[in-house]
Structure 1
C-alpha cells in the first residue's frame, strides 16, 4: 500500500465526516429556529415582500384579500388588494388563517433582519387611540356572538380606547361625528374586533 494514498483516503474520509456533521448541525439549528417562529414574525416576512395578495381569514368569518404593508406589536396594517385606498388594521389575534402562494410561504419563514423600529412596538390599542385622537371615521368588523350570531360591520368614530375595549359613536360611513347624527354608542371588547378599516385621506396611523 502506498502511504500517500492511505493518508489521502483518511483525509477524504475525515472531510466527509466533518461535512456531514456540519450539515447535521445546520439542519438541527434550522429546525430549532423554525420552532421558535411566531405568527407575527411570519407576517413581518410578508410585509412589502409578498408576490401576490394575502387572503386573511378573520374572526368575523370573512376573508379579506390584502397586501401587508406594516406589522406592529400585535397587529398589521394592510391595504385591501381590490382598493388600496382602504386600509385595514387587523389584530393578529383575530386572524384565523392565512392563504399565500408557496413562494411567499417559504419567504415568510426565512431568517429576518434584526430591526428595532418604533412602529414594531406600537400596539393595536395605541393605533386605535391615534384614530380616536384624530376623530377619524372608521368601519369596525365585529365577530359573531356565539354560533348562531351574525358578524356585523359598524361605522362611526372611536370616542375613546381603554385597556381592552373601545367606545364607538355610531353614525353613517363618511359622515363627520355630529351629536345629531350619532345613532347610538357601543362599547366593543378589543378581543371581539376582527378589523378596523380607514379610508385613504382619513388620517390613518403612521406605521
Structure 2
C-alpha cells in the first residue's frame, strides 16, 4: 500500500486540530463573549441606562406607527434614530471602535454578523472608569492568545516540515495520531518516541489516551 503523503491540506488540518486541542478556539470564543458583554455595558452607559433605552424604544414605536400612515412616495429609508454596529470611543484619551458583535476590527475572518443597536456615534470614558481597565485586560488576553496560536502554528509546522508521509510523522511523533484528520488512512503505530515540549504545548496525549 502506498504511503499517504502529507499534503498542504492535511498539514493545515493537523495544525487546526492542534490549535483546537490546545483550546485556542475556546479561548477566542470566551474572549469575544466577554467583549460583547463589555460593549453592551458601554453602550448602555452612553445612552443613560436600560430605563432610558426602554423609553426610547417605546417612543420609537409611537413614531413608527404615525410614520406608517404617510404616503409611500414621502417615506425615506433614513432611520429615525441612530442604529449602528459600532461607536467611536474616547477611551481615556485613546481612540477605539466598539463593535457590538465583539470584533476588534470591522472585518475579522470567521466573525459573526455585525449587530445594529441604538447608540450615539461617540462616547467618552474617563481613566478612572472600570470599563477602561476591563478593556485593557481584554487587550492583554487577545495578545496572549495570538502569541500562543503563533507558537503552536510555528512549532507544529516545523515538525511537519521534517517528514513527507503520515507513516514517517508517526514514527517521529506518535502522539500526533490524535491530530490526524478523521478521514486519514490508518497507519500502524511504531514504538513511541516522545517530544515532551511540543506535546505539553498542545496538550497531548489526552487524559483518556494516557489512561489507555
* TM-score of the two chains, using structure 2 as the length reference: 0.21
Which structure carries more relative contact order (alpha carbon 8 Å, separation 6+)? 2
Structure (1 or 2) with the greater helix fraction? 2
Structure (1 or 2) with the greater strand fraction? 1
